[in-house]
Amino acid sequence: MAYRDKNTGPDYSAVLRTLREGGPLPVYILRGEEDYLRDSFLAELKKLCLPEGTEAFNYHRLQGPGLDMGQLRQSVEAMPFMGERTLTEVRDFDVNRTAAYDGEALRAFLEDLPEWATVAFVFSPGYAPDSRLVAVKAMKKAGADIAFTSPGEAELRRWVTRRVESLGKKIDPPTASHLIWVCGDRMNSLIPEILKIAAYAPGDTVAKEHIDAVAKKAPETTIFDLTDALGAGNYDKAAGLLADLLADKDEPPQKQIAMVSEQFRRLYVARLALDSGRGESYITACVPELAGRSYPLRLLQRACRGFSARRLARAVSACAQCDYAMKDTGGEPEALMKELVLRLAMDQP
């Protein structure tokens, strides 16, 4: 259920078509949150650069964060053997910490690459090369900068459907949307959940109850359920969901507080839209990451009815105060998270 702006990423089909029709470029920057698509593109790039039987001779992989310019130069300038191209993959090079001297050296090197060489700089999710730096400008000028984001809702739903069908099961579009909502929209995270859900479903069709029974919820989905429980006055359920969140060591309380704050901001926007009769266009103007996401948008509009606008305004203020206490006074995040949920539960309409 992670909300992301779907309008900033490339058309993945068009990116692949350009690669296949135009051939490999000298340099690629491969980055973004959707590492499944990033790695799929890299695999396609390998096929084009390294025909069968040539990978052992013409493929080089270097690992960051420190990059030895001499090693990079040696790998890239090595002539291909039993093939026409070489591919050098550089993983997690911390280009943002490149000294000015090394940045100029990299720029000069990339401007004079051998005609047979392709260099792919591959960055982990969450890392964003600083476009102001000489080294990054040189990398972009020499080739292509591709940021892989999660596909739009319709495209991701079709992908989920194909994955389920490959396991001998069926799933209808609303149920596929629910699966994405529950498990999140990261494709690498969805794959094991789809396998588990398909194995659990007794018949030939995956239903909503099968997803709810065995799927691991994304943290954002649990937080949505938590705020929904607070709006409904179901404080026992809210307490259980809070315990689930705090038990999830993959998401620190600091991030959970930020997600609770963001969720109440969205609920407040949805409530204002409801009270003023402005509708979905107002919500998506204020929360652009929901544009084109009909399923979570519909759930948000329903959930905001559990709160008055005044209560939501107070909730947004309480979240801001919690954030201040954590960042500026050194409060213990887990204790602050518990205190925040208790305060929100005690605040009646």
Instruction: Judge whether 156 and 148 are in contact, CB under 8 Å.
Output: no
- Give the whole-angstrom CA distance, residue 298 versus residue 326: 32
Which amino acid is located at 148 in the chain? F
Phi/psi of residue 277, each to 5°? 70, 20
Peptide bond into 219 cis (omega under 30): no
pTM (2 d.p.): 0.80
For residues 88 and 30, what is the distance between their CA atoms, to the nearest angstrom?
13
Rounded to a whole number, what is the distance in angstroms from the first to the last CA of the chain? 28
> Do the strands 86-91 and 59-63 form a parallel or antiparallel pair, or are they unpaired?
parallel
pLDDT of 138: 93
Domains of the chain with CATH codes: 12-147 (3.40.50.300), 153-214 (1.10.8.60), 219-346 (1.20.272.10)
Backbone phi and psi for residue 130, each to the nearest 5 degrees, phi listed first: -80, 110
pLDDT at 250: 80
Q: Which residue has the tokens 């590492």?
A: 35
- Structure tokens given for 24: 């490999």
Structural contact between residues 196 and 208, judged by C-beta atoms closer than 8 angstroms: no
Q: pLDDT 10s digit of each residue in the chain, 349 long?
A: 333 334 445 688 889 999 999 999 999 999 999 999 999 999 999 999 999 989 999 999 998 787 788 888 999 999 999 989 999 999 999 999 888 778 888 899 999 999 999 999 999 998 999 999 999 999 999 999 999 988 888 899 999 999 999 999 999 999 999 999 999 999 999 999 999 999 999 999 999 999 999 999 999 999 999 999 999 999 999 999 999 999 888 888 888 999 999 999 999 999 999 999 998 999 999 999 888 888 999 999 999 999 999 999 999 999 999 988 888 777 788 999 999 999 999 987 6
**What local confidence, expressed as pLDDT, does residue 1 receive?**
34
SS3 content of the chain, % helix, strand, coil (to 5): 60, 10, 30
